[in-house]
Amino acid sequence: MATIRAITLSLGEPHPLRGETLARAAVFLRAAQARAEAEGHTVQTTRVATRPVMQDLGDYSAAGLSAYARDLNAHCDGEGLAYLSLGPAPAHDPAFPLDRLIALADILTSYSALNATVQTAYGGDAPREEAMLATAEIMRSLAEASDGAANFRFAMLAMCEPGGPFFPQAYARGRDWRVSVGLQCANVVGDALASVIPGRLPGREEAIRHALADHARPVTQLVRAIAEEAGFTYGGIDLSPAPMGAESIAAAMERGGLDRFGSSGTLALAATITAAIKAAAEDVGPACGYNGLMLPVLEDETLGRRVAEKGVSATSLLAYSAVCGTGLDTIPLPGDTPSDTVARLLSDVAALAWRLRKPLSARLFLTPGGVAGEMTRFTSPYLTNTRILAL
């Protein structure tokens, strides 16, 4: 049986959303979770992704957006919806006024069910450099106002399409309602790697591909059926093997013969795993979201240890992003890192996404009072503590 990280319902209704719309979404997600659990699967979260609020409500003031966010959060609390995405602000569009972005800091600090992002490169729009500094300043504001906790619900996006299941990236576009699914399956990758004779990279790719496809197929069949019975579109699966704590993708790679995550051979193995993920997603399809290797530093115990041991840096993680899936994820940085320094890192991620035509994101944790080399002190059960990285 599978551990389902997220069943995500993307709403085609434009903002402003009505209470009955969210009630309908909640009823569907509760039924979907119950059905999946009745078939033996574990469902960690159910989530709602919406259309980009700053596009649908382009004429709202900052105060109007905040009031609307308050109402949305209240509806989420009333319906038991713990995760709702407001979608990406379209900062890639040269016509979008960047001073509107500051409203996101207030919204995410105040309302814990809400997630939001900023898209800085998309479609034919190259990375918008001035958007990087504005995004970095949001990250700083969130860190200072929430001791870093709200940064978990905010990211910079580049070349990210709608319809994926993972947060905070997920968002909707169009008018239909779509259901997507993501798994927590780092151990599946580890078992597949361990089953292959060390040094046989082609054999590893095939082993991972077949293991992931076999693991995911019952889930995709079930979620497709649940979606279609409700009259919704099945949007597909993101087979990125999301880690969580002790279920570590870094540990999986070390089981497969890697000396230590971060040592020579890490990038090559990351590329092999990502190729297998993409092939497996096509096998069970349709694919959506990232479909690549996820390396969230603060969500992966072994990866966190390798960072603490100084075997992994922000630079090496950026290099792995060239062949991985998500970009820079849950990376702790010193609280006093200048915003323009953070902006340059965001520019690197966006440039990589634009050049390679692949979806990448950056979810950075500026640690208030934290100094490079010190250990973080997060108390969330979803985060592992590690060394704060310098830029």
* Predicted pLDDT at 147: 82
For residue 3, the surrounding DSSP H or E stretch is: strand 3-10
Q: Please check whether residue 177 is in contact with residue 10, taking contact to mean a CB–CB distance below 8 angstroms.
A: yes
Look at residue 201 in the predicted model and tell me its pLDDT. 60
Residue 148's pLDDT is 79
What is the pTM assigned to this prediction?
0.95
The pLDDT value recorded for residue 202 is: 67
d(CA 121, CA 216): 31
pLDDT at 266: 96
Q: What is the pLDDT of residue 378?
A: 85
DSSP string, 325-385: SSEEEEEEEETT--HHHHHHHHHHHHHHHHHHT--EEEEEEEETT--TTSBP----TT---
Place of tokens 């299941």: 165
Ranges of residues in the chain whose predicted pLDDT is under 50: none
Count of domains for the chain = 1
The predicted pLDDT at position 379 comes to 84
CA 274 to chain centre: 16
CATH of the domain at 82: 3.20.70.20
pLDDT in tens, 355-382: 999 999 999 999 999 999 999 988 888 8
Q: Identity (one letter) of the amino acid at 223? A: V
In sequence order, what DSSP letters do the residues of 61-117 get, joined into one string? Answer: -HHHHHHHHHHHHHHHHHHT---EEEEEE-TTSTTS-GGGGHHHHHHHHH-TTEEEE
Q: What pLDDT digit, counting tens, does each position of 203-241 carry?
A: 899 999 999 999 999 999 999 999 999 999 999 999 999
Range of the domain at 124: 1-391
